[in-house]
Amino acid sequence: MKKIDGIIPVGHKPMIERVAVATGVLHLSSDSVDAIQNGLVAKGDVLEASTVAAIQAVKDTPRMIPHCHIIPIESCNVTWEWEDCHLRCTVTVSAHWKTGVEMEALCGVSTGLLCAWDMVKSLEKDSDGQYPETKIQNLRVIEKRKGEPQD
């Protein structure tokens, strides 16, 4: 019988400042880019709604990924950048805790980008109802920092 561990014990670990930065890119059509940039998306302000979705995902990470600890998030920053027809989301998360915040940052990015896609999916579909060009790529942690243990 295979043994499956639950949540890894971290009670013995010291409180340390933890920071993680994650990023990812959503490839969109020029029609979607134009609609987002000019406030013409029927579902509302894409970047505003997607920012809220990203922040909520950071806070709900342990509900989505069963082995993640509940972490008292101290800050979450979401930024958006246009790179031609690509929308880049970057999420920075910090906490003073016993384990890192990489999964929280990654969940924030992926959910923010999924929310953006959802809001423009009617513009992204081709005549067959498919998404031939729309994709999320390069989801990754670009920075992870640990501070010194607290006294």
d(CA 48, CA 94): 21
Sheet with 86-97, side-by-side order of all strands: 75-83, 86-97, 16-27, 135-146
Q: Distance between terminal CA atoms of the chain?
A: 43
CB-CB contact of 91 with 112 (8 Å): yes
- As given in the structure block, the two tokens for residue 17 are 């400042």
Residue 74's SS3 state is coil
Q: Is residue 118 annotated as a catalytic residue, yes or no?
A: yes
Which of 20, 12, 143 lies closest to 74, judged by CA? 20
Question: How large is the C-alpha radius of gyration of the chain?
Answer: 18
Catalytic member of 118, 126, 128, 151: 118
* Residues belonging to the active site: 118
